[in-house]
Amino acid sequence: MADNTAMEHSFFSAFVLLLLVLDPLGSLPIFISILREVPKERRARMAIRESGIAFAVLFAFMFFGEGFLQVMHLSERSLEVAGGVILALVAIRMIFGSAGESVYGVEAGKEPYIFPLAVPLLAGPSAMATVLLLASRQPDRMVSWIGALSAAMVVSGLTLVLADRIRKILGDSVVSAMEKLMGLVLTAIAVEMILAGLKRYFVGGI
């Protein structure tokens, strides 16, 4: 990530970078699974709300992230490891299931709030680090970065809103299979995030 953001970015390249980091299509099976447990009349509202929360988190982190990390004596490495641990817990529940609550830690029939859609699936450690690096390395282009973040979040929000229609097209069995597969993928991503954070801690680097 550091190498990608070290170069000069345009509005379009920053938009593509943020969209890849947010990865709404890669998280689509998780979105579909969560929406399945939310009352139908609230699904679109929840999708828009969670996208808005994720945008607010990343927007704030763009301006105040570095200062917050310094005040709390935290580093990007700690964000990476923490995010990896959280994703690992979500992934394990996705694969093996849990009794009495959904795989996302909320009671059946209740919609999740902030976790895990807004944070960490959209506004995760990678996205936080990306907006922080964009803002710190090219602070004179903040308007472009805000615009790129807004555009990327709109695309992610539309993915959330359309997730239920995609579920109807694919069917519950396919969605269930995709969820198990995504659990395996998320496990690998979580391990990679933890190892990367530990490597940066012990070996050094930004």
Burial class (CB in 10 A: 0-12, 13-18, 19+), 39: exposed
Residue 21 resides in a domain: yes
In the predicted model, is pLDDT for residue 1 greater than 50?
Answer: no
pLDDT tier, 11 (very low <50, low <70, confident <90, very high otherwise): very high
Residues 157-172: tens digit of each pLDDT:
998 888 878 777 877 6
Residue 1 resides in a domain: no
Closest CA to 152 of 63, 76, 81, 62: 62
Residues 131-154: tens digit of each pLDDT:
887 887 788 999 999 999 999 999
Q: Which structural domain range is residue 133 located in? A: 12-203
Taking the alpha carbons at both ends of the chain, their separation in whole angstroms is 10
Residue 95 resides in a domain: yes
Contact 175, 36 (CB under 8 A): yes
Average pLDDT over residues 57-81: 84
Contact 80, 124 (CB under 8 A): no
Structurally, the chain folds into a number of domains equal to: 1
In degrees, rounded to 5, the angle at the alpha carbon of residue 69 between the alpha carbons of residues 20 and 57 is 45
Residue 35 resides in a domain: yes
Residue 4 resides in a domain: no
Peptide bond into 120 cis (omega under 30): yes
Report residue 50 as tokens.
């969670």
In the predicted model, is pLDDT for residue 6 greater than 70?
Answer: no
Average pLDDT over residues 37-49: 85
Kindly report the length of the chain: 206
Average pLDDT over residues 79-103: 67
Residue 184 resides in a domain: yes
Residue 38 resides in a domain: yes
pLDDT at position 105, please?
A: 54
In the predicted model, is pLDDT for residue 205 greater than 70?
Answer: no
Contact 167, 32 (CB under 8 A): yes
Residue 147 resides in a domain: yes
In the predicted model, is pLDDT for residue 130 greater than 60?
Answer: yes
pLDDT tier, 72 (very low <50, low <70, confident <90, very high otherwise): confident
